[in-house]
Structure 1
Amino acid sequence: MKTVAVIDYGMGNLHSVSKALEHVADANTRVIVTSDPEQILAADKAVLPGVGAIRDCMAEILRHGVDEVVREVVATRPLLGICVGMQVLLDHSEENGGVECLGLLPGDVKFFGKELRDSEGSRLKVPHMGWSPVSQVEPSHPLWLGVDDNARFYFVHSYYAHVASEAMVVGRSEYGLGFDVALGHENIFAVQFHPEKSAANGLQLLENYLKWKP
């Protein structure tokens, strides 16, 4: 029996993420939601969700010791970061006046801006909320298996990732500007969008994650 641990540090769509994973898991895979470091480190894979302000997420991550647990996880097994759970893996975020993050992926989290406009000059609302196509920068990555290029995923965010190395970028999207929405590096795969809210495409990505062997 394989185990996937959804890391509970008090900030994330734990129920919807775990239910989506259970929906695509095979009979030999168990999904648990846990804050117990021993259970997380005993699992075959882990998922780091996150919603809300990054300052609050990082505060809870540090308070629960999840920072050290995540570092141990990515050293030996796969980790999937979702939404703010992706952003906290980077070095620094502009949100909340500036927040230092985990520094596992070189890059920064930036604000879309109050004057964000589309290609025709029309003002765009921030947060970016709704369905947007994702261009597969690395279409051969196993997590894109069965997912069409430019398939649409569901987003809710005011801040976006900009990584230091193009080699880590697996998917990109646009909302007034181009930004990195799927990152892959060694045992880490992380997405800005919410696969658990992205219907068939999101479920396919989660199923691919459960089968992924970096």
Structure 2
Amino acid sequence: MTDGTAPLAAADGSPARGWFITLEGGDGVGKTTQAALLTAWLEARGRTVVRTREPGGTDLGQRIREIVLHERGHVAPRAEALLYAADRAHHVETVVRPAVARGDVVLQDRYIDSSVAYQGVARGLGADHIRSVSDWAADGLVPDLTVLLDLDVTVGRSRVAAARGDTFDRLESEAEAFHESVRQAFLAMATAEPDRFLVVDAAEDPVAVQQRIRAAVAALVPAA
């Protein structure tokens, strides 16, 4: 659930009717698969689901995504972090908050926790600095639930390689130590905010993983 520091609200200031759920984790953990399964289940329960991602959940965000993930030249770490923040600011204002105000379920692949893990910790820019910039960009928006799909880094990278061969983006191409730092950063955040995070072993069968996620979401989002 949200921590109460920035409650979601509709455009008219009334309490939000929708929910904001994020999926986090390293590469190859199965976020796309689990999001698709969860979307189908929620829609069968009568809920409208907005599936989105960061970066790339808007036209502007898609252009930013091309830079931060596929730019062939060097992108300075601070510039990378600020590009993610710019994407987030636009995405939250134009996609996430309007959907929540409508009463939809926003199901999002990556959010602020990814910036903290990748740029704040693994890039060494400082977790507190990145969270501060990200919170400002998102105007304090906190997810109702964050599902962390945790998986051994070697296994995750093997999954990506099996799915796409040698086609890796800029972050996927980083050394294994970088990705282990990301994993440990996610786990540390989950430990610090147990009320918001659900940690799931992504090495389990996808159906079993989905059942755990559905149980947590069912307690948060009633059937329509």
If the length of structure 1 is used for normalisation, what is the TM-score? 0.36
Greater helix fraction, Structure 1 or Structure 2: 2
For normalisation by structure 2, the TM-score amounts to 0.35
Determine which structure has the larger strand proportion and give its number: 1
